Amino acid sequence: MSNTAQTQQQQARQALEVLEQAYAYYTAEPTVATKGENFVEYYEYAAAA
């Protein structure tokens, strides 16, 4: 493999790592309601915003 191809692969790997970090940052973690706990229905408030 040439140096250019290796460099492109390294850059692609780095870009993928950054993209995965950004996705993990902006993706909400799922929450599980425990017994007796109410869910907040955010879609009800979206129209008010």
Residue-wise pLDDT for 1-11, tens only, equals 567 878 999 99
Whole-model pTM: value is 0.50
| Residue showing tokens 């955010």 | 42
| Residue spans per domain, the chain | 3-46
Confidence of residue 44 (pLDDT cuts 50, 70, 90): low
Q: For residues 15 and 19, give the distance between their C-alpha atoms in angstroms, rounded to a whole number.
A: 6
- The tens digit of pLDDT for each residue in 18-37 reads 999 999 888 877 777 677 66
Q: How far, in Å, CA of 48 to CA of 39, rounded?
A: 18
